[in-house]
Amino acid sequence: MAEKRRVSCRDIPGRTREYETIFILKPDVSNEVIGATNSKIRGVLEAGGGTLLKIENWGRRKLAYEVKKQLKGIYIFFRYLGNPGLVEEIERNLHLTDSVIRQYSVKIAENVDPATRTSEVTDELFANASVPGPDEEAIATGQAGARPFGDEDEEGAFDFEEAVFGKVDEPTRRGD
């Protein structure tokens, strides 16, 4: 028996819906597992007639509450075009993947003309999505190589005022 596509009376023929899916991976998974999971979801998306618009790796972050005995997770963001049945298939595949601890999908827009939406995903960006950035705690404590804002001064010390207020010229005295 052929699979029936879910259709709403609000759907205009030739148009699709725009969705965002965020899924959280276990914090100790390797970059290869992240890449394999991303490739699996991309394959499901393309097999279902969808179009991947954007993919981002938001890095390792602290969870708001414990999920499957994990306090941190690696957040992956997908934005794509597809039909309602595609979202169900993506979520089904995420649910069956052992390294995924949580997923969430939302509909962004209905009746989107696929010709007006261009994909921002290149092979390089897709490959970069399998490498998480530094841990948010490492950034906050200064243990990561990246600074949240601003630069170090000549002596190597972080200048908070310059980071917040920008470069300020020496103050002038009144009457000069």
Each domain of the chain, given as residue ranges in start order, spans: 16-134
| Predicted model pTM | 0.73
Q: Residues 18-37: what's their mean pLDDT?
A: 96
Rg (CA), the chain: 22
Q: Residues 82-107: what's their mean pLDDT?
A: 95
Q: What is the DSSP letter of 152?
A: B
Q: Residues 107-135: what's their mean pLDDT?
A: 88
- Greater confidence (170 vs 130) lies with 130
- Closest to 38 measured CA to CA, from 94, 92, 122, 86: 94
pLDDT at 175 over 70: no
Q: Residues 95-101: what's their mean pLDDT?
A: 96
pLDDT at 160 over 80: no
Q: Which CATH superfamily is domain 16-134 in?
A: Ribosomal protein S6/Translation elongation factor EF1B (3.30.70.60)
